[in-house]
Amino acid sequence: MSSTDKLNQLHSFLQQSSIMQLVNMFDLMPDMLFWIKNTDSEIIYANRAFQQHIGVNSLEHAIGLTDYDFAPPHLARQYVVDDQRVMAGQAVDNRLEMNILKNGELRWFTTSKRILLDSNDQLIGTYGVSRHLEKTSLALTGMQALKIPVEFIRANYMHDICIVELAELSHLSISALERRFKKFLHKTPKQFINEVRLENARRLLVETTLPIAIIAGECGFPDPSYFTRQFTKLFDEKPSDFRLSFNPS
């Protein structure tokens, strides 16, 4: 089946009134990006928040685009790899990921993705949602207490960060802080710190020519071997292989 046929198939699927009524609900959630892609990771539907996020004026201008059309290559690659993982049976749940706004600023989002099946249970694509971490912080009651530790981690990820210090900054006990992270970010403070460090390391691997050991140290991993293990665990490839994929020469 050609890419055009797949797009037409998805259009037909979405035009079912019951489906469109549900999909249109996402336009009522300005802090949430929602999209549907076909099996080639081409956008077939995007809510208004997603359209604004990628800088287009209408759904028609978004249809058929891939992440490579509006995101930095190293980020687009991760999004497409996630699509492939989802289609292979791996769910993406509240993944912390760096994203780029249309003004060029990098921000943090939490993303979840699932497979999309037709009425015959045949795989026809994926769908997902992303929530802007800062906007979510302002929108959800109780999340405000995480705003301070999250911003502290983003600004100081390259240094040693003590959970006790985070709790004191948040005016919470350690157990209360951990419960708050698990409730709103679905991860512990240590997991969040680790992922922030790894996301920044991934960016430096593409944007600089610094040795991997130096990047590891600058992102809070004094042991390069431990950094490599953690990077491989999160991104399914070694830092050296990741860098080589963007600069084969």
Q: What is the CATH number of domain 3-135?
A: 3.30.450.20
pLDDT at 139: 47
CA 143/CA 18 separation, integer angstroms = 33
- Answer whether 53's CB lies under 8 Å from 80's CB: no
Query: Domain residues of the chain, as ranges?
Result: 3-135, 140-246
For the chain, give the number of residues.
Answer: 249
| Residue of 147 and 42 predicted with greater confidence | 42
- At 92, the pLDDT band (50, 70, 90 cuts) reads confident
If residue 69 lies in a helix (H) or strand (E), which one and from where to where? Answer: none
Q: Model pTM?
A: 0.68
pLDDT in tens, 29-78: 777 899 999 999 999 899 999 998 888 999 889 989 999 998 888 788 88
Whether 142 shows a pLDDT value over 90: the answer reads no
One CATH from 3.60.20.10, 3.40.50.1100, 3.40.140.10, 1.10.10.60 for 140-246:
1.10.10.60
Q: For 171, which DSSP code?
A: T
CA 14/CA 17 separation, integer angstroms = 8
